[in-house]
Amino acid sequence: MPNMDGISLVESLTALPAYRNTPILMLTTEDATDKKNQAKAAGTN
C-alpha cells in the first residue's frame, strides 16, 4: 500500500467502533519477531 503499512491499517480499523471486535488476520513474508509482536499489539488475531 503506498501510504500505509498493514500494521497502521489494522490500528486504524480497530480504532473504529464498528470494527473493534472484527477478527483480522495478517499475512506477511516477515519472519522478524518484532513485526509479529507489533501486529499482535495492533489487534490482529
Average per-residue pLDDT for the chain: 84
Question: Looking at the predicted structure, is the pLDDT value of residue 1 above 70?
Answer: no
Q: How far is residue 34's CA from residue 45's CA, in Å, rounded to a whole number?
A: 16
Q: What local confidence, expressed as pLDDT, does residue 17 receive?
A: 94
- Helix, strand, coil share (%) of the chain residues, nearest 5: 50, 0, 50
pTM: 0.67
The total number of residues written for the chain in this structure:
45
% of residues, the chain, pLDDT over 90? 9
Question: Looking at the predicted structure, is the pLDDT value of residue 28 above 60?
Answer: yes
Q: What local confidence, expressed as pLDDT, does residue 2 receive?
A: 75
> Whose grid coordinates read 490500528?
11
Q: Are 43 and 11 in contact (CB under 8 A)?
A: yes
Q: How far is residue 1's CA from residue 13's CA, in Å, rounded to a whole number?
A: 15
